[in-house]
Amino acid sequence: MPTTPAAHADHHYAFVADVPVRWSDMDAFGHINHARMVTLMEEARIQWLLSAGEEYAPLITSAMIVHVDIRYHAQLRHEDSPIRVGMWITTFRSVDFTIGYEIFSATADHGSRPACVASTQMAVVDVEKHTLRRLSDGEKNYLREWSRGDGAR
């Protein structure tokens, strides 16, 4: 079920992942490179999807990214490791869902503004037919449980 760290409990995340920052994630200016931030978000998202259990394996194995949006509010550096990534479902429709992210430094104060806010829209596909597929009622219920409110449209 959902987990929330005490440091950011007021944000009501469905899942929180602590992701270590590697030295290779840094750019020449000493902060996390944009492309590497996408990779760190992927690592957090994989932790969340794997926590879903066998019942939701079709959702996990058929989810494909169709859009990524990232907005930076502060720099994150190697010494901010591990970054804390809070995630939740922002919306879901018949064939896709969107994951929201708020990313904090390991040393972020309670109630602080996230250093990064992002989202990834995920479409579900029939892997064998190479076409979009509809979310099942069970998958929709699962996604609803991981929303901050009623994220369905």
pLDDT in tens, 109-148: 888 999 999 999 999 999 889 999 999 998 899 899 888 7
* CATH pick for 11-145 out of 3.10.129.10, 3.40.50.620, 3.30.43.10, 3.40.50.1260: 3.10.129.10
Higher pLDDT, 50 or 8: 50
Tell me the C-alpha to C-alpha distance, in Å, between residue 5 and each of 10, 37, 119, 140, 153.
9, 21, 20, 25, 29
Tell me the C-alpha to C-alpha distance, in Å, between residue 54 and each of 2, 49, 61.
16, 10, 11
pLDDT in tens, 81-116: 899 999 999 999 999 999 999 999 999 988 899 999
Based on its alpha-carbon atoms, the radius of gyration of the chain, rounded to whole angstroms, reads 16
Residue 11's pLDDT is: 63
Distance CA 123, CA 28 (A): 34
pLDDT in tens, 48-62: 888 877 777 777 778
CA 147-149-150 angle, 5° bins: 90
